[in-house]
Structure 1
């Protein structure tokens, strides 16, 4: 997580430089509103459900395209524009552009994301139950059915 935060801040500084903006200018865009936080809860809940659902249905190979598609869609279907993860939220506090977020607005977004993660995990458990295997030992991940068939 520290590497993501440092990378995000570095990316914000670089973007500011590319658009001839001051390298760091704390934004004044107050984004403190319940509907924005609800958008983050919804976006995070869906993302957690998607990632764990893919794992529980042995469809991990689809994760790169589906996660990227979900994040892109969440930008449009949430009032918050789905900041995606805490590192992105923190990084957006370093740019006073349309995407910026006032430093005082960062903590509630991170809290909303934690709530969304909890709701997402609860839905995963309700829909898929507790997993008895880990991805490393799941038959689909190790190719065990193919090995068993080859031994016959």
Structure 2
């Protein structure tokens, strides 16, 4: 990561079920994200690069949904907006039911159905979303973003 910046955590947004989960990733860049969902968001696998080395990490619940959707980022592309909805949709528990990611190049990934309470995190041109944390059980209960802000 470039010098002259700071990491901040924003969130988590969503329900308070499940257990605390932190990817513990401070990536230089996100390469791709593969989401698993159905009527709720179950989780995602994030492939990221740190010091030229690529790794993948799963963030989410123990169950799996029927649908998958992937976003692949160009070398100079990064996520600058995360929004979504959470609702009492999973056996009476409040969980993430919809997510939208937008990049600095205008690429957008949308999964799930927008219902319930919404949240939005938008970064200016100096900010990048480079990691995630939150709460997970069987599904994705809550999501927060690890952001890098360049001075």
Range into which the TM-score falls when normalised by the shorter chain: under 0.3
> How high is the TM-score relative to the length of structure 2?
0.25
> How high is the TM-score relative to the length of structure 1?
0.24
Higher helix share: 1
Higher strand share: 2
Which entry has the higher C-alpha Rg, 1 or 2? 1
